[in-house]
Structure 1
Amino acid sequence: MRFVVCGEALIDLMPEESISPEESRWIARSGGGPLNTAAALAKLGEDSHFLGRLSTDAFGRQLRSHLEAAGVNTDLSVTTDEPTSVAVVSLDDEGKASYNFHFDGTSNFNWQAAEFPQLEEGDWLHFGSIGSVIGPGAKHVLDFVSRTDAATSFDINVRPSTLPDRANYFALVSDLMAAVGRGGGIVKASDEDIAWLVDDEENPLGYAQAWAEEYGLAMFIVTLGGDGVAAVRPDGRIAQVPGHKVEVVDTVGAGDTFMAGFLSAYAEDPSDLEAALNRGVAAAAIVVTRQGAKPPTRAEVDAFLG
């Protein structure tokens, strides 16, 4: 199966060392949720293609090199002279990442209708994160998802600092869930994503079930941090697997890597949902033990699962 991952590729500026009160050292890591998922799928041995807008600037060249080194095909990517988007990453004491974004006039958000390919029924289109909700290109992403013949999955991956208005954010996400639901696709979010969208920290699985039913989804997947993950069907059936106790370095790329692990297994055998969830959780458990989004290989996931 050909996996086509659509969305942003950007530079994560991550703190490395404080040299003095006036100076600090930072690492420019290749990032962006869709880029991470595309790379993780390729590392797992899948036929992974990145559908994104890559700049010709130095950061853009780094992103393209990163994708190609991971084994991702960039044949569907668009080359642009617009500057690369940048995210400044902060880590708390537990290694959990938060982001401040610098997006104005940058490469990821100026999609044109003619830049999207025609996908086939045998393809799998995965998309999401901020590239699907930030204008002016978001409307073209929605149109593309609405008309594709490919199987679809959508990772909401909320970034509140990019669109602080909950109602506006949820309206955009709702349109995308409806587009995915027309083909009986899959939506994924973290429990924290759901809590922010609805301004309610109670019962994320209840919201997931309601949205799966309302939008006609095959399932809604909710990642639960260290507690694992649950997949909720429209009729309320839940498949849930626990997390793994590991030493967390940082959580950068955890959800993106989970989705790659899940999709690689689910596309191969949709009948064994629990096994697919377990592979996703294992892949995410490995990546959080590493600094930055460095996804595991298929052999590493197999070894981790024993």
Structure 2
Amino acid sequence: MRFVVCGEALIDLMPEGGGTPAESPWVARSGGGPLNSAAALARLGKDTHFLGRLSSDAFGVQLRSHLEAAGVSLDLAVATDDATSVAVVSLDDQGKASYAFHFHGTSNFNWHADEFPTLGGDDWLHFGSIGAVIGAGAKNVLDFVSRTDAAVSFDINVRPSTLPDRAEYFSRVSDLMAAVGRGGGIVKASDEDIAWLVDDDSDPLGYAEGWAAEYGLALFLVTLGPDGAAAVWPDGRRAQVPGHRVEVVDTVGAGDTFMAGFLSAYTVNPRDVEAALRRGAGAAALVCTREGAQPPTAEELDAFLG
């Protein structure tokens, strides 16, 4: 199976510590949810192709090199002279990341209808995050997902600062879930994503079940931070696995890597959803032990899971 991962590739500017009142050190890391998922899938040994808009600027060159080093094919990537998008990352005392985005007029948000390929029934399209929701090209992403013949998964990956209006954000996410549901696809969100979208943190799995039924999804996946992950079917069945207690360096790329781990197993044996959840949770735990989004190889994940 060929995985095609569609969405943003950007630069995460991360603080390095120290500095002076006039100057502070930062490191520019390759990032973006879809880029992270593509790199993770490739490192897990999957045939992975990145469908994103990559700038000709210096940061764009870095992003291309990062993807190629991970083993991701760039034959579907779109070359553009638009500047690379940038996210400024802040980490709290537990290593949890938050983001401030600099996106206006940048590479990830100007999709044109003729930039999307035709995918077949043997392809798996994974997409999501910010570029599917905001920007001039978001409608073209929706149209692409709506008409594709590929199997589809969608990572909601809410970023409230990019569109603070909950109702508007949920409306756009709903359209995307409906498009995914037309093909019986999969949607993933964190418990925090769901809580923000509905302004209620009481029952994320209940909302996931309702959306799975409403939109005709095959599964709705919910990551639960250190408590693991769950899958919910539209008929109310559930599967859940615990998380792993690890020393967290930061959480950058955790959800993106979870999705890669899950898909790497689910597409081999769709009947064993629990095994796929375990692989996703293990991959996410490993990436949290590393600085930035550095996903594990298949061998590292196998050794971790024992």
| Aligned residue runs from structure 1 range 103-252, under 5 A | 103-252=103-252
Amino acid aligned to 2:77: S
Structure 2 counterpart of 1:102: 102
Matching of residue 53 in structure 1 with residue 53 in structure 2:
yes
* 1:75 equivalent in alignment to 2:88: no
Structure 2 letter corresponding to 1:78: V
1:262 matched to 2:262 = yes
Match of 1:17 in 2: 17
Which residue type is aligned with residue 156 of structure 2?
I
Q: 2:202 and 2:65 mapped to 1: Cα distance?
A: 42
Task: Give distance in 2, aligned partners of 1:198 and 1:135.
Answer: 22
Query: 2: distance between equivalents of 1:142 and 1:89?
Result: 28
d(CA) in 2 for partners of 1:297, 1:60: 24
Query: Aligned AA for 2:66?
Result: H
Structure 1 segments, 4+ long, off by >2 Å, are: none
Superposed displacement of residue 230, structure 1: 0.5
Of the structure 1 ranges 40-49 and 12-21, higher mean CA displacement relative to structure 2 is found in 12-21
Cα distance per residue 1:50-94 (max 9 Å; x no partner): 000000000000000000010000000000000000000000000
Instruction: Report the Cα offset of residue 18 of structure 1.
Output: 2.2
The aligned amino acid for 1:125 is L
- C-alpha distance in structure 1 between counterparts of 2:20 and 2:59, whole Å: 26
Aligned to 1:40: 40
Aligned-partner Cα distance in 2 for 1:236–1:22 = 56
Q: CA–CA distance in 2 between the matches of 1:297 and 1:78?
A: 27
Aligned residues: CA RMSD: 0.4
Question: Offset at 1:17?
Answer: 2.0
Report the AA paired with residue 4 of structure 1: V
Amino acid at match of 2:16: E
CA distance in 2, matches of 1:19, 1:151: 48
Question: In the alignment, residue 99 of structure 1 is paired with which amino acid?
Answer: Y
Counterpart for residue 26 of structure 1: 26
| Deviation for aligned residue 1:22 | 1.6
Instruction: Return the alpha-carbon distance in structure 2 between the equivalents of residues 8 and 169 of structure 1.
Output: 18
TM-score by length of 1: 1.00
C-alpha offsets along residues 141-189 of structure 1, whole Å, 9 cap, x if unaligned? 0000000000000000000000000000000000000000000000000
What displacement does 1:21 show? 1.7
SS of the equivalent of 2:24 reads strand
CA–CA distance in structure 2, aligned partners of residues 159 and 70 of structure 1: 26
Inter-partner Cα distance in structure 1 for 2:44 and 2:201: 34
Matches of 1:148 and 1:300 in 2, distance apart?
Answer: 34
Cα distance in 2, alignment partners of residues 257 and 303 from structure 1: 17
Determine helix, strand or coil for the equivalent of 1:23: coil
Inter-partner Cα distance in structure 1 for 2:271 and 2:193: 27
Q: CA deviation at 1:43?
A: 0.2
Aligned residue pairs total 306
How far off is 1:49 after superposition?
0.3
Q: In the alignment, residue 110 of structure 1 is paired with which amino acid?
A: N
SS of 2:18's partner is strand
Q: Which runs of 5+ in 1 are unaligned?
A: none
Q: Secondary structure at the match of 2:122?
A: coil
Q: Percent identity?
A: 79
